Amino acid sequence: MSAALIAGALLPLPLTLPASLIDLRHRIIPDALNLALLVLGLAVAAWHAGTWSVVGLGLTDAGLAFGLFWTLRALHARLSGRIGLGLGDVKFIAAASAWTGLAGLPVLILAASLSALAAVGLVALAGRRVARTTALPFGPFLALGLHAALLVGAAG
């Protein structure tokens, strides 16, 4: 794996790391970090394309991702009576789509979901009770998913 590939995948780390830590500690992803992630993703896309015309496409992708995951969040809440995905997570996914495009979201969500499932499994193996109502901050897993999607996208 080339150094440039790894560097590109790590570029959003100064934003995803604090977002993850804050979500772990306070169960919130600050809007300022989500906005910075969106803006930096749009700027990187424009730099790679050599033109700012891609910003509109990036904003469209972010809007569509936000709409899709906000709708999934609302449907889950209506059907289960509980909030399963925080609004900060929805905003993070939208901002991440500026980095990955809509095509990269399946990899991001798969990596985030599988890593969260592994974490729950480790918690259960450690002897802690895990129930349907157990809350898990999803931001760190979304951040991991973003970096995985960037690695997969750059490699393929």
Q: Where are the domains of the chain?
A: 3-155
Give me 35's structure tokens: 């906005």
pTM: 0.94
Report pLDDT for 156: 64
The tens place of each residue's pLDDT in the chain, 156 residues long, gives: 677 677 788 899 999 999 999 999 999 999 999 999 999 999 999 998 899 999 999 999 999 999 999 999 999 999 999 999 999 999 999 999 999 999 999 999 999 999 999 999 999 999 999 888 888 999 999 999 999 999 998 766
Report pLDDT for 1: 60
Report pLDDT for 150: 95
Torsion of CA 24, 25, 26, 32, to 10 degrees: -70
Give me 129's structure tokens: 């009770």
Q: Which residue has tokens 């495009």? A: 101
Report the SS3 class of residue 39: helix
Q: ∠ CA 130-133-138 to the nearest 5 degrees?
A: 85
What is the Cα gyration radius of the chain? Answer: 16
